[in-house]
Amino acid sequence: GDSVTQMEGPVTLSEEAFLTINCTYTATGYPSLFWYVQYPGEGLQLLLKATKADDKGSNKGFEATYRKETTSFHLEKGSVQVSDSAVYFCALRAKGQNFVFGPGTRLSVLP
Amino acid sequence: EAQVTQNPRYLITVTGKKLTVTCSQNMNHEYMSWYRQDPGLGLRQIYYSMNVEVTDKGDVPEGYKVSRKEKRNFPLILESPSPNQTSLYFCASRTSGRADTQYFGPGTRLTVL
């Protein structure tokens, strides 16, 4: 079945550091790919998405590119802030199927 | 404001005592889901509903029931809760469509003693 693998962390960075959270997937066909963020005590919120190969999703300084050849959707940000501390989930949805989530990566950004 | 609401936010109960967690959305979404979140396992889908009176099992349905009598509501029922159902539960909704965003409720933290 479809699956998502991501680094579990925790990831601890200093403010203004560069962030990469790796995400790879296994799916039949061409799924849509998503990154969701969960701030402490809250539900998940969509951060960005991409629906086809080579699409780049971006939001709030975060970016991820749909790489079909490597089945990856790595999340990057050039300069993290303390307010970016959260849990980040990579997810996919194949056509006609339900969402499949990765285990989540906890990010802590220190001032 | 578009939102998904859940109640209660926190619940401590005992083994075998039936409980219901309510979920409501105000976006007229056809599709609603329940997930549980456990450390190291991410989100796992319990049940989902494509529309009123249409429900189906997700990946971990054992010990849970749902109903969808109205489009906006999708309650999760635990007829006889057990300690292994201690978890953080999220309700979500979305419209149909390949890349449609899911909107999540704030979560319900359930402890079964």
A103–B104: do the CB atoms touch at under 8 Å?
no
What average pLDDT does the segment B36-48 reach? 90
* Candidate from B40, B45, B107 with C-beta closest to A43: B107
A104–B101: do the CB atoms touch at under 8 Å?
no
pLDDT at B20 over 80: yes
Band the pLDDT of A7: cuts 50, 70, 90: confident
Separation in Å, CA of A30 to nearest CA in chain B? 10
* A87, closest residue in chain B (CA to CA): B42
Is the pLDDT higher at A94 or at A22?
A: A22
User: What is chain B's mean pLDDT, rounded?
Assistant: 93
Q: Does B50 touch chain A (CB under 8 A)?
A: no
Whole-angstrom CA distances from A41 to A65, B57, B61 are: 29, 27, 25
Q: Is the dihedral of CA A92, A25, B91, A104 positive or negative?
A: negative
Residue whose tokens read 């450390």: B39
pLDDT of residue A98: 81
pLDDT at B65 over 90: yes
Band the pLDDT of B99: cuts 50, 70, 90: low
Cβ(B71)–Cβ(B94) below 8 Å: no
pLDDT of residue A2: 87
Separation in Å, CA of A26 to nearest CA in chain B? 16
User: Reduced to 3 states, what is the DSSP secondary structure of residue B29?
Assistant: coil
pLDDT at A95 over 90: no
Overall size of chain B counted in residues: 113
B102–A46: do the CB atoms touch at under 8 Å?
yes
* Model confidence pLDDT, tens digit, residues A36-55: 999 988 889 999 999 999 99
What average pLDDT does the segment B77-100 reach? 89
Terminal Cα-to-Cα distance of chain A (whole angstroms): 41
* Model confidence pLDDT, tens digit, residues A79-90: 999 999 999 999
Q: Does B99 touch chain A (CB under 8 A)?
A: yes
